[in-house]
Amino acid sequence: MMQFIDLAAQYQHLKEKIDARIHKVLDHGQYIMGPEVQELEEKLAEYVGVKHAITCANGTDALTLALMALEVGEGDAVFVPTFTFFASAETVAFANATPVFVDSDPDTFNICPIDLEKRIQVVKGEGKLNLKAIMAVDLFGLPANYPELEKIAAKYDMKLIEDAAQGFGGEINGKRAGSFGDIATTSFFPAKPLGCYGDGGAIFTDDDDYAALIKSLRVHGKGVDKYDNVRIGINSRLDTIQAAVLLEKIVEFPSELIKRNWLASKYTGQLSATYEVPIIPEGYASSWAQYSLLASDSEERARIMMKLKECNIPSMIYYQTCMHKQTAFKALNEQYGNYPNADKLASRVYSLPMHPYFKESEFDAVTKVLMTL
C-alpha cells in the first residue's frame, strides 16, 4: 500500500549503517548524552552554518528552551502565525506569555510580514503587553520571509525565533533554515525532513551566551557540576540511540533533499495547469516537508481526498483548525481581528504523499487520479 511518508523504505535503505550505529551505543552503554550526541551537535551546526547546535528531547521543548533563554514570560507578547501546528503557540502560553496570532501570506502560507507589523502596532498602541518576540514557522519546508521579518524585529527591538521544525534543509539565497533569527529550533519527529526513530529536537544559535544558557536549562539548570543547579530548568536531553540514528540520516540527507525536490518538480510540472500548486519565491529553496495543493473550497477538497482514498492513495490536511479557533485559545479568539488568508488555507489546503523513496509508478498513480477529476 502506498505510504504518505515511507519510513520503512528509508530504514531498509540505511539499515546496515543504522543498525551498526545503534549496536555501538548498546555496546558502550552511554544511553543518555553519550558521545554520539556531541558528534551529532557538531554535524548539525556545520550543516546549518551556525556556531552552536544544542540537542534536546523534542521540537516542542526546543521552542520552550528558546523562550526560556530569551526570558519570555508574563506580560510579554510573542507574535506567531495562526496557520501552523499547535506547539508554536502552546509554548508561548506555557511560558505565561501571550501569543498574538498573525495572518498568513496567501502565496507562501507562512507568516505575513505586512499583517505582522499591523498587529505589532495594535499591541503597541494598547500598551498592555511588552513587544518581546516574533516566532516564525517554516511551513511545509519553506523558510519564512526572514529578510523582512528581521527588519521588523529590529525596528521594534524584538527577538526573532525561527521554528524550523518543518524547514530543516530549506534555504534563502544559500543561507540554510536553522540559521535565521536570534535562536532557531527544529524537530526530529520521525515524519520531519530529518527525523529520528522517536522524539528529538535541537536549538541553533550563533550567540555564545544563549548556547551556554540552553545547555544548562536542558539539564535541570545545572551549573559546572550536575549536582549544583544554578537556575530552574527542564529535563530535555536527546538520548544517544536517537543521536546514533540521526548521524546516519544526516549523511544521507543531502541526497534525500535532491529526491524531494525532484518529486516536487514532477508534481508541479504535471499538476500546475489544473491545480493551485506551491509557490516558491525566487532565491528560496524548500525541503518539502509536505507538498500541498489548494482546492477551491472545503467541498472540493473533501471530494478530491475521497477519490484519492478510494484509489488507496493517502492524503492529509495541515492544518484545518487555525490557532485563533483552537479551544485552548478561546479567551484570545478574534481579540486582534480576523485572519482571512489563514481561514481560507485551513479550509482549502491538502497534502499529497512526499518522501525521498517515492517510486515513479506511485507518482503516476497519484497524478493519474488527480488528472481525471
Domain locations along the chain = 7-248, 253-371
- Please report which confidence band the pLDDT of residue 334 belongs to, taking 50, 70 and 90 as the band edges: low
Residues 346-358 pLDDT 10s? 999 999 999 999 9
Which pLDDT score, from 0 to 100, does residue 338 have?
A: 87
Residues 92-114 pLDDT 10s? 999 999 999 999 999 999 999 99
Closest C-alpha to 238, from 32, 84, 46, 19:
32
Task: Kindly calculate the radius of gyration of the chain based on its CA atoms and give it in whole angstroms.
Answer: 21
When pLDDT is averaged across residues 55-62 and rounded to a whole number, the result is 98
- Please report which confidence band the pLDDT of residue 336 belongs to, taking 50, 70 and 90 as the band edges: low
Angle of CA points 355, 287, 207, to nearest 5°: 135
Range name among 6-20, 117-131, 220-234, 243-257 with the lowest pLDDT average: 220-234
φ/ψ bin of 339: left (φ > 0), alpha (ψ from -120 to 50), beta (otherwise): beta
Report d(CA 206, CA 48) in Å as an integer: 11
Residue 134: pLDDT over 80: yes
Residues 77-87 pLDDT 10s? 999 999 999 99
Q: At the topology level of CATH, where does 253-371 sit?
A: Aspartate Aminotransferase, domain 1 (3.90.1150)
Residues 258-282 pLDDT 10s? 999 999 999 999 999 999 999 999 9
When pLDDT is averaged across residues 22-33 and rounded to a whole number, the result is 97
Report d(CA 200, CA 31) in Å as an integer: 14
Which pLDDT score, from 0 to 100, does residue 281 have?
A: 98
Range name among 58-72, 130-144, 216-230 with the lowest pLDDT average: 216-230
Same fold, 7-248 and 253-371: no
- Please report which confidence band the pLDDT of residue 226 belongs to, taking 50, 70 and 90 as the band edges: confident
Q: CATH: 3.30.1320.10, 3.40.640.10, 2.60.40.10, 1.20.200.10. Which one for 7-248?
A: 3.40.640.10
When pLDDT is averaged across residues 150-179 and rounded to a whole number, the result is 98
Cβ(101)–Cβ(80) below 8 Å: yes
